[in-house]
Amino acid sequence: MDPVIELDGLEVRFGTRAILKKLKASLDGRAIGLLGPNGAGKSTLLNTLLGFHKPGAGTARVFGRDIRTQAREVRSLIGYMPENDAFIAGMSGVHFVRLMAELAGLPRADALERAHEAFFYVGLGEVRYRTLGTYSLGMKQSAKLAQAIAHGPKLLFLDEPTNGLDPPARARMIQLIQEIRDRGDLHLILSSHLLRDVEECCDQVLILKDGNIAAFCNLEEERRLNRRFLEIETRGEANGCFVEAMEKLGCETAAGAQGRIKLIMPDGLEVRRLYEIAAEQNVQIRRLHHKRDSLEDIFLKAMEATNGRL
């Protein structure tokens, strides 16, 4: 089965400046987060996949279709919610979305039907006949999402979908994105400078830095691995013996000050066993919590890496 997106030595140059530098990765997640500081190449990557920029070297494939030789096919598979508004202000919302669905290849009658459905889906059914120029910022963002999904794409590009939204509107947009993800009938790429948006919606993350891939990781896998990483705070005279007993069970340990211990538990060892051994050693476990790298940790590590990868 073809990956959602395959980057095969993809390079894009603007004049003499390399914007994307021989990117190589295979992306197959249901929801992929695209992160990086300003100027990292996020929008350039999306626009290249859409056919707006021609690769200087290498290529990319979307569901196996090459962006160089099958650009029309590629575009028909993608729904695009741009960061910047591109509305026809005097047109009603539903007719704008119908037009966009027609441009994506749907017959006129089907496009109008799907436009109505998309507006109700994003919560704008009651205002679909109002002109777009009268919409609030939150309504405009929802209308952009409606036009991106109206033609039934297999892949959805969301470029800063919560940009400028107040907290209630942001929460509604995140809920919509999660619902689309969980339906299971399409994949999505969410490009954002907000780590929280990506963490709440995505199962994979691709981090760009200076046109290079700084990190690519599976967030679900990271979360599963980190469930074995514990930080505990103990009290008792036999703390050293407790650590020794943990190591005999296969734990990797690092003792800190004031009874603090970091440990990585091997597969098969349950947390309750720690409490049993602590009781045997006359040690109190006063606090225990699972440590996991947040997306912020992963992002900062990627920005600090000097070799372009974690």
| All structural domains of the chain with their residue ranges | 5-222, 228-290
- Domain 5-222 in CATH: superfamily? P-loop containing nucleotide triphosphate hydrolases (3.40.50.300)
**Nearest-CA neighbor of 35 among 296, 305, 307, 308?**
296
Interval 263-308: pLDDT, tens: 888 878 888 888 998 988 888 898 887 765 668 778 888 888 644 4
pTM (global) more than 0.85:
no
Tell me if 219 sits within 8 A of 205, measured CB to CB: yes
Helix H segments across 28-124?
Answer: 42-49, 71-77, 93-103, 108-121
User: 78 has which bridge partners?
Assistant: 155
Look at residue 30 in the predicted model and tell me its pLDDT. Answer: 93
The type of residue at 98 is R
Which tokens belong to 245?
Answer: 């007993």
Output the pLDDT for position 67.
97
Q: Which helix (H) or strand (E) holds 76?
A: helix 71-77
Strands in 284-290's sheet, in edge-to-edge order, are 252-255, 260-264, 229-235, 284-290
What pLDDT, on a 0 to 100 scale, did the predictor assign at position 189?
97
Greatest CA span in the chain, whole angstroms?
79
**pLDDT at 242 (0 to 100):** 87
CATH architecture of 228-290: 2-Layer Sandwich (3.30)
Q: What's the rounded Cα separation, in Å, for the pair 127 and 226?
A: 46
Contact 55, 12 (CB under 8 A): yes
pLDDT score of 254: 84
Give every residue of the chain whose pLDDT is below 70, as ranges.
Answer: 223-227, 237-238, 291-294, 305-310
User: What gap in Å lies between CA 300 and CA 310, rounded to an integer?
Assistant: 10
Long-range (24+ apart) CB contacts under 8 A made by 69-72 are none
CB-based contact 191:46 (threshold 8 Å): yes
